[in-house]
Amino acid sequence: MKTLIDRISSHYGSKGCISMLDPKKFINEKVAWIRNEIGDRKVIAAVSGGVDSTTTAMLGHLALGDRLTVIFLDDGLMREGEPEAVVELFKRRGMNIKLYDVKSEFFRALKGLADSEEKRKAFRETFYRVLGRVVTELGAECLLQGTIAADVVETKKGVKTQHNVLEQIGISPEEQYGYKVVEPLVDLYKHEVRMVAKALGLPPEVSERRPFPGPGLAVRVIGEVTPKRVELVRKATKIVEEETRIIPCFQAFAVLLTDKATGVTENGQRKYGEIVVIRVVNSVDALTAQAIDIPWDVLKRIRKRIFERLPSVARVLYDITDKPPATIEFE
């Protein structure tokens, strides 16, 4: 297998790639590797419900069985119904999962921050500080997490700080947080992770699930992150995901802008309201992406439902920018 640096060089800026990965061989190798890395130490796996962290937890379960405890931090920045769905998924698999309600800590850490990098770093610090407390509480010494190659690429290139990239940028988790971080997927890109997920027998709603940013809806709220603003973009995102369900795409979501715009109510009164942007893109490795020309009737249904459910919104826009020059997320 190529080194991470070799893979970064060959993938960055590409429009797509063909993987030579043998997922079954990868699973066997990584299960053995996890056992060797962990030894007899107690370990937790942090999951978000996405394919990367879920695949990581499943590899950990194969390697360690009941020694693994799965952790979900409800930071208040997830999709609608996400915490409940994640807990149910792992319980059905017979795995030990614990849910922690830590919303107040994350909103407190993000309060007053408007700069995207400051928000990402505040999220990272809060995430690992809270995990450190959980690790201590459970007597664990290791953390399994679903960092993938694209996370490392964008952080090292300075495009944006991915919260789950530490050792690759000179941060020692053991020195700073008191536990060892183990990343079995760090050499893979998203399409390869999906191959592994399928080989593990994970259902399509997991293996083919559209990516969701590590800092959650915090990076889809431009400007300050507040519970009210997050709730608005959460509802808008649900509408976008529902209306684009049958459209093949890599990601589809809503973004709440800082600026407001003037509108007119049905009875002719002036309205000064929020601006929501819709973004739908295709990608293979998340390093490049292309905006999708989705049907006009789909866009109109999205617009109609957003106006009906979110009366504070005055404008709905559609973003047609590729990556590059944009990133997939706005922040």
In which band, very low, low, confident or very high, does the pLDDT at 165 lie, cut at 50, 70 and 90?
low
Q: Which phi and psi (to 5°) does residue 251 adopt?
A: -145, 150
Helix axes 190-199, 51-64, angle to 10 degrees: 40
Please enumerate in sequence order all residues whose Cβ is within 8 A of that of 78, keeping only pairs 6 or more positions apart, or say none: 48, 49, 212, 216, 217
Report all structural domains of the chain as residue ranges with CATH numbers, in order of start. Answer: 4-207 (3.40.50.620), 221-318 (3.30.300.10)
Do 76 and 167 meet the contact criterion of CB atoms below 8 Å apart?
no
Q: Which phi and psi (to 5°) does residue 276 adopt?
A: -110, 135
Q: Which amino acid is at 285?
A: D
Q: What is the mean pLDDT of residues 27-50?
A: 94
d(Cα 134, Cα 102) in Å, to the nearest integer? 11
Q: How many CB atoms lie within 10 A of CB 173?
A: 19
Q: Summarize pLDDT for 233-277 with one digit per residue, the tens.
A: 999 999 999 999 999 999 999 999 999 999 988 888 899 999 999
Q: Does the bond joining 23 to the residue before it have cis omega, within 30 degrees of 0?
A: no
Q: Summarize pLDDT for 48-86 with one digit per residue, the tens.
A: 889 999 999 999 999 999 999 999 999 999 999 999 999
Please enumerate in sequence order all residues whose Cβ is within 8 A of that of 257, keeping only pairs 6 or more positions apart, or say none: 222, 223, 274, 275, 276, 277
Higher pLDDT: 12 or 192? It is 192
Q: Does residue 230 carry a pLDDT above 60?
A: yes
User: With the C-alpha atoms ordered 213, 215, 216, 220, is the resulting torsion angle positive or negative?
Assistant: negative
Question: 72: which strand partners?
Answer: 99
- Token pair recorded at residue 242: 């529902």
d(Cα 186, Cα 207) in Å, to the nearest integer? 17
Q: Which is it for strands 313-318 and 270-282: parallel, antiparallel or unpaired?
A: parallel
SS3 258: strand
Do 174 and 135 meet the contact criterion of CB atoms below 8 Å apart?
no
In which band, very low, low, confident or very high, does the pLDDT at 285 lie, cut at 50, 70 and 90?
confident
